[in-house]
């Protein structure tokens, strides 16, 4: 998910510590519908979350979890329904909503011929970031900054996805199987970053086919037998 915007692309020498750039917010989607040809994978799906809260999306393989996350991230356009993000009483337009999202998903890939740090530096410039906390996040997650992405293990690549998602201090994290391929140390580190994000007032929507042991008062269960199957 590359979301360039206008702005000063100058960089400070010391990256700021990661904190979510958030305020009082609510995020809701309603009647979302999506089909691949004749097969409907999302059938009038609805959900909501607010500042400091997390919505868990559960369901078996083929229930439409990844499709829903991609629709919420602006990577796919739902064929019906609405997505609304209210920030300090103001509804964000589609562009602002996409800029405020941090996405982790198996479809997120990087330039294999560049190092982890070079990839994040490139995306920071596209995003117009004056400050980039990603180097600190790379170190916190144990990703070797100068290692080529093509030489990263699947677990290190997942840690890099987290670094990318948090780089611009998003108000909303959209996490599709966020702990996939992580060892215990990587999972502990990313869980800590998720807690920090929520404690700072950020929002999160997390999709997984298994119970991740995350405490949340909001859950959405997708049923593939009702939707017709999906990603």
For 57-90, write each residue's pLDDT tens digit. Answer: 999 998 999 999 999 999 999 999 999 999 988 9
pLDDT over threshold 60, residue 111 = yes
* % residues pLDDT > 70 (the chain): 85
Compute, in degrees rounded to 10, the torsion defined by CA atoms 140, 145, 147, 151.
50
125 belongs to a structural domain: yes
96 belongs to a structural domain: yes
49 belongs to a structural domain: yes
The mean pLDDT of 200-223, rounded to a whole number, is 91
> Distance between CA atoms of 231 and 217, rounded to whole angstroms?
25
CB 43 within 8 A of CB 226: yes
Indicate the number of domains in the chain.
1
pLDDT over threshold 90, residue 201 = yes
Confidence grade of residue 2 (pLDDT, cut at 50, 70, 90): very low
pLDDT digits (tens, 9 = 90+) for 127-151: 888 776 767 889 999 999 999 999 9
Beta bridge partners of 91: 86
Spatial neighbors of 192 by CB under 8 A, at least 6 apart, are none
CB 171 within 8 A of CB 203: yes
12 belongs to a structural domain: no
Domain of 74, CATH number, reads 3.40.50.300
- Strand blocks (E) in 121-201: 172-176
Structural domain boundaries enclosing 88: 25-227
pLDDT over threshold 90, residue 175 = yes
Least confident of 8-22, 161-175, 207-221: 8-22
221 belongs to a structural domain: yes
- Pull the structure tokens for residue 86: 């209210």
């Amino acid at each position: 998910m590359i979301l360039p915007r206008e702005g000063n692309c100058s960089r400070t020498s010391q990256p700021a510590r990661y904190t979510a750039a958030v305020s009082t917010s609510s995020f809701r989607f309603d009647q979302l519908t999506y089909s691949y040809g004749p097969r409907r994978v999302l059938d009038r799906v609805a959900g909501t979350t607010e500042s400091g809260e997390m919505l868990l999306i559960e369901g078996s393989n083929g229930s439409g979890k990844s499709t829903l996350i991609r629709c919420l991230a602006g990577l796919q356009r739902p064929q019906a329904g609405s997505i609304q993000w209210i920030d300090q009483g103001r509804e964000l337009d589609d562009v602002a909503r996409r800029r405020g999202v941090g996405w982790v998903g198996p479809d997120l890939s990087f330039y294999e011929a560049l190092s982890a740090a070079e990839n994040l530096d490139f995306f920071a410039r596209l995003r117009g970031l004056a400050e980039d906390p990603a180097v600190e996040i790379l170190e916190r997650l144990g990703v070797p900054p100068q290692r080529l992405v093509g030489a990263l293990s699947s677990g290190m690549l997942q840690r890099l996805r987290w670094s990318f998602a948090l780089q611009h201090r998003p108000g909303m994290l959209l996490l599709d199987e966020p702990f996939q391929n992580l060892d215990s140390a990587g999972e502990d580190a990313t869980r800590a970053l998720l807690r920090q994000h929520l404690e700072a007032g950020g929002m999160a929507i997390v999709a997984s086919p298994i119970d991740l042991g995350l405490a949340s008062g909001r859950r959405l269960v997708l049923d593939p037998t009702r939707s017709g199957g999906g990603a």
